[in-house]
Amino acid sequence: MATPLAAASTIEQQELTLTPVTLNVNGTTHSLEIEPRVTLLDALREHIHLTGTKKGCDHGQCGACTVLINGRRINSCLTLALMHEGDDIVTIEGLGAPGALHPMQAAFVEHDGLQCGYCTPGQICSAVAMLGEVKAGWPSHVTSDVASQRITLTDPEIRERMSGNICRCSAYPNIVAAIRDIAKGSGQ
């Protein structure tokens, strides 16, 4: 009978099984060969070298790893890369670039919606998707009239919808102000 140490050694010696996957990230196709257990977050950071998406808690609790999949926000640390073949994946790098910022990125800068900046990519991706949810008429837990076709994006509504994104520096008032500014500009 093998000892636990011998069993671990045997596992280490086994050849890794790599699986081909093609990911469409920020409009560019990336063909990878990865282990089936690689998260989308690790594929983005370690294999595609897009480091704007941050690894915070690695448990889906902080939102630092939020990216957009087919326009919807998702914690990339909680999903496997192989699950997103054929999906349209957008990271913070795909929203805008220096000199051509996405309006939400510009609003975060204008309203000083960041301090250390670690959570900011996830906050911005989440805010962009959140505005899409509001436009689609999806209510939140604090929406006063869930049957209404038009949701008023109040500060409590913004806070509730962004509650999955933690800012350890507590820049929340400025984050809410940035989102409110963009929401007003888009008629929400």
The pLDDT assigned to 149 comes to: 76
The pLDDT assigned to 161 comes to: 96
The pLDDT assigned to 101 comes to: 97
* Domains of the chain by start residue, with CATH: 18-95 (3.10.20.30), 103-185 (1.10.150.120)
Q: How much of the chain, in percent, has pLDDT values that exceed 90?
A: 83
- CB atoms < 10 A from the CB of 131, how many? 20
CA-nearest of 162, 187, 184, 173 to 73 is 162
Segments of the chain with pLDDT less than 50: none
Alpha helices (runs of H) in 61-119, residue ranges in sequence order:
92-95, 103-110
